[in-house]
């Protein structure tokens, strides 16, 4: 087997190497308290997500400010989707939540009394999912100079990053 391009003893001389080492270590091997905190945050965000989408509403409820409903739809999808992407280190949660954005509005229009489906809610939901797409893409796309960013994610089981080779 060929030797790894970077050995444990060879120093990394890139200007951002120290930052890469500290953030990469935190991303690839987070401390236990951070992992537990992230899972708790995800569970809370998911509970708020489902409650906001499927809880009955009182007729004539007053919004806190104009378009508060759209802001809540955006945040209700941005938070759990982004946390799911960060925890799983995969792209597929964005597809699941995007599908749920459409499905939830169909369910609201068809089966929930006092609720109605709205295409602008779907657009706000998908804008929230787009936040997670940007987070995933920022971790998984190579920089313009071909070097890798700090990440530990996969695309169909393959890390889409070219390793740096010193020649």
Could you read off the pLDDT tens digit of each residue along the chain, which spans 167 residues? 555 555 455 555 655 555 555 655 666 667 888 889 999 999 999 999 999 999 887 777 778 888 988 999 999 999 999 999 888 878 899 999 999 999 999 999 998 888 888 999 999 999 999 999 998 888 766 666 655 455 455 544 444 444 444 44
- Positive or negative, the Cα torsion across 50, 53, 58, 60? positive
Burial of 38 per CB tally in 10 Å (0-12, 13-18, 19+): middle
CA 104 to chain centre: 19
Burial of 154 per CB tally in 10 Å (0-12, 13-18, 19+): middle
| Alpha helix segments (H runs only) across the chain | 17-28, 32-54, 68-88, 92-111, 119-140
| Contact call for residues 99 and 47 (beta carbons, < 8 A) | no
**C-alpha to C-alpha distance for 109 and 68, rounded to whole angstroms:** 20
- Positive or negative, the Cα torsion across 7, 11, 15, 20? positive
Residue in 71, 73, 91, 70 with CA at minimum distance from that of residue 82: 91
pLDDT at 167: 44
pLDDT at 104: 96
Total-model pTM: 0.72
pLDDT at 157: 46
């Amino acid at each position: 087997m060929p030797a790894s391009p970077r050995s444990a003893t060879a120093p990394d001389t890139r200007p951002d190497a120290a930052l890469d080492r500290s953030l990469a270590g935190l991303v690839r091997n987070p401390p236990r308290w951070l992992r537990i905190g992230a899972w708790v945050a995800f569970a809370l965000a998911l509970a708020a997500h489902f409650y906001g989408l499927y809880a009955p509403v009182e007729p004539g409820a007053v919004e806190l400010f104009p378009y508060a409903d759209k802001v809540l739809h955006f945040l209700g999808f941005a938070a759990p989707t982004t946390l799911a992407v960060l925890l799983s280190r995969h792209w597929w949660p964005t597809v699941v939540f995007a599908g749920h954005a459409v499905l939830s509005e169909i369910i609201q229009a068809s089966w929930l009394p006092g609720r109605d489906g709205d295409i602008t809610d779907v657009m706000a939901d998908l804008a929230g999912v787009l936040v997670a797409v940007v987070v995933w893409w920022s971790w998984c796309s190579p920089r313009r100079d071909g070097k890798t960013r700090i990440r530990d994610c996969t695309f169909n089981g393959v890390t889409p990053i070219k390793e740096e080779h010193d020649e």
